[in-house]
């Protein structure tokens, strides 16, 4: 099959979160299973600056864009996956985050930027760019690609589309004036199409018009069909429940492997776990914290946003520190959360290490050096850090939601007995419930043999991409087989 995989970020080219990890590794896993999958992302300045070899493959004249858009072609670094970059300097050649300005507010022209990206994806998918390659399936990811399925639906004999929800909280909502300014078909402004409570919703394009919907864990696939997690889209998602599948994300164990990780001081595996202690010592030194081997080191690596439950950690912090524990935090985002963490660090310089910012090598070192990983998310479509933690022997404490529920096995008398326990889970998104789970973790930490068992069971878990990639390929085949030939009126996009 020819598959065009469209995403707004892909590791190692550009990354703000888990979507990049998925887009950088799933296409590789699918290519390994002998499918012709190609990745397309915007040519952000940060991507072009890396100096990877690319060639000019095509020029595209797109409505509403003054300059012809260049399509650059290369390979996703470290792989054979063909990579297309949508090079429209007015929209993507700028410093900083792909979605937000320095102050954290979205770029004011995001709707235009990602509509340009969607038009380019559509053009390449239907071979209107003259590349001599046409997609059978376009695999879209998150709201930034949400206009592609409706564009395909307007095109006769178009490729099929799959839309993956990585996080329903981000929907790409804009006003009517913005919608009108983009020159999109006016009949899309309807409840049955892209209009959502008087706003223009990118994500609805994917939710309504794709042939199949997926999300990144089975539990999240069920949760988003409820009022609590559905953001008002639960009705639509229930309507589509027969074409909505949860496929758990995999992780790339060539990047996240303590046995061969260039970012950690001392590599280790299940049989050389004693080296983990050396990584812990180095990590504490890196953060300027006193080295205390027998004290549990908790860690957080996260975007600092409400979703992640960092406020719950702040609430339990006094109790955690009273138990003598240490904490290291790597993250950035919400300025209030950043300030609260800074204050906590200033007040507890011996116990808390903090790095506000984005630092990939440090993230690896933290996974290797910490004892316990905290992920008390209010919702978590899949979550990757808890899976990395398992492989690094860093026991996760998670809220039982989304992919966290699907990847971490709570420690109970039964799961200890049948040797399936890998972490600690709690249900209520509130500080007392988190504290109860942390207390259980502390209790088990003080029993080194039991702790060792937990670590070893976690390190044995296999969440590699192979199985998930097979699942996606089966789905692509199913969609192509089941697709009803539809004749729709072609519209100029």
What are the residues binding ligand ADP (CB under 6 A)? 17-18, 21, 301-303, 330-332, 358-360, 363, 382-385
Minimum CB–partner distance for residue 110 and ligand ADP (Å): 18
Compute the chain's Rg from CA coordinates. Answer: 23
Minimum CB–partner distance for residue 3 and ligand ADP (Å): 22
Minimum CB–partner distance for residue 235 and ligand ADP (Å): 25
Distance of CA 85 to the CA centre of its chain: 20
* Cis amide bond preceding 12, omega within 30: yes
Provide the 10 A C-beta neighbour count for residue 450: 15
Q: At what angle do helices 310-322 and 431-445 cross, to 10 degrees?
A: 50
Residue 109 · residue 98 · CB < 8 Å = no
- Closer Cβ to ligand ADP, 12 or 185, answer by number: 12
Minimum CB–partner distance for residue 7 and ligand ADP (Å): 12
- Closer Cβ to ligand ADP, 17 or 183, answer by number: 17
Q: What is the DSSP string of 198-263?
A: TEEEHHHHHHHHSSEEEESSHHHHHHTTSHHHHTT-HHHHHHTGGGEEE----B-TTTS-TTS-TT
Minimum CB–partner distance for residue 391 and ligand ADP (Å): 12
Q: What is the DSSP string of 188-216?
A: GSSTTTTEETTEEEHHHHHHHHSSEEEES
- Closer Cβ to ligand ADP, 179 or 373, answer by number: 373
- Closer Cβ to ligand ADP, 57 or 283, answer by number: 283
- Closer Cβ to ligand ADP, 201 or 332, answer by number: 332
- Closer Cβ to ligand ADP, 363 or 459, answer by number: 363
- Closer Cβ to ligand ADP, 358 or 435, answer by number: 358
Minimum CB–partner distance for residue 453 and ligand ADP (Å): 25
Q: How far apart are CA 92 and CA 106, in angstroms?
A: 14
| Nearest alpha-carbon partner for 194 in 104, 118, 127, 108 | 118
* Residue with smallest beta-carbon separation from ligand ADP: 18
Q: How far apart are CA 247 and CA 234, in angstroms?
A: 19
Q: Give me 141's structure tokens.
A: 């990811």
Residue 107 · residue 113 · CB < 8 Å = yes
Minimum CB–partner distance for residue 18 and ligand ADP (Å): 2
Minimum CB–partner distance for residue 446 and ligand ADP (Å): 28
- Closer Cβ to ligand ADP, 134 or 303, answer by number: 303
């Amino acid at each position: 099959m020819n598959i065009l995989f469209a995403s707004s970020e892909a590791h190692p080219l550009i990354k703000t979160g888990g979507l990049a990890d998925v887009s950088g590794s799933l296409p590789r896993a699918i290519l390994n299973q002998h499918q012709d999958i190609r990745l397309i992302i915007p040519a952000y300045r940060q991507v072009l600056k890396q100096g990877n070899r690319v060639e000019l493959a095509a020029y595209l004249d797109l409505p509403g864009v003054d300059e012809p858009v260049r399509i650059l072609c290369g390979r996703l670094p470290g792989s054979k996956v063909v990579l297309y970059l949508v090079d429209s300097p007015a929209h993507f050649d700028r410093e900083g985050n792909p979605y937000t300005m320095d102050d954290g507010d979205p770029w004011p022209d995001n709707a235009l930027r990602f509509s340009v990206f969607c038009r380019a994806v559509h053009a390449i998918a239907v071979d209107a760019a003259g590349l001599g390659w046409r997609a059978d399936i376009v695999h879209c990811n998150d709201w930034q690609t949400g206009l592609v399925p409706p564009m395909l639906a307007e095109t006769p004999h178009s490729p099929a589309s799959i839309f993956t929800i990585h996080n329903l909280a981000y929907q790409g909502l804009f006003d009517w004036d913005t919608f009108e300014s983009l020159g999109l078909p006016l009949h899309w402004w309807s409840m049955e199409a892209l209009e959502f409570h008087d706003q223009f919703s990118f994500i609805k394009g994917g939710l309504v018009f794709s042939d199949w919907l997926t999300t990144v864990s089975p539990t999240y696939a069920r949760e988003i069909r409820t009022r609590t997690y559905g953001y008002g889209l639960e009705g639509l998602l229930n309507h589509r429940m027969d074409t909505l599948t949860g496929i758990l994300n995999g992780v790339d164990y060539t990047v996240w492997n303590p046995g061969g990780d260039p970012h950690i001081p001392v590599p280790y595996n299940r049989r050389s776990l004693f080296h983990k202690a050396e990584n812990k010592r180095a990590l504490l030194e890196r953060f300027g914290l006193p080295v205390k081997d027998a004290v549990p080191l908790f860690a957080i690596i996260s975007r600092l946003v409400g979703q992640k439950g960092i406020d719950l950690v702040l609430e339990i912090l006094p109790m955690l520190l009273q138990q003598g524990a240490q904490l290291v935090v790597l993250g950035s985002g919400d300025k209030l959360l950043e300030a609260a963490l800074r204050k906590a660090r200033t007040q507890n310089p011996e116990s808390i290490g903090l790095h506000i910012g984005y630092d990939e090598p440090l993230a690896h070192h933290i996974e290797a050096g910490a004892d316990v990983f905290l992920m008390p998310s209010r919702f978590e479509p899949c979550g990757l850090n808890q899976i990395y933690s398992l492989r690094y022997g860093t026991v996760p404490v998670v809220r039982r939601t989304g992919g966290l529920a699907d990847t971490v096995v709570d420690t109970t008398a039964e799961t200890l007995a049948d040797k399936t326990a890998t972490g600690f889970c709690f249900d209520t998104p509130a500080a007392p419930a988190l504290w109860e789970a942390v207390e259980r973790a502390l209790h088990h930490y003080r029993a080194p043999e039991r702790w060792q068992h937990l670590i070893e069971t976690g390190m044995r878990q296999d969440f590699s991409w192979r199985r998930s990639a097979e699942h996606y390929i089966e789905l692509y085949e199913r969609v192509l087989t089941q697709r009803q030939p539809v004749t729709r009126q072609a519209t100029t996009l």
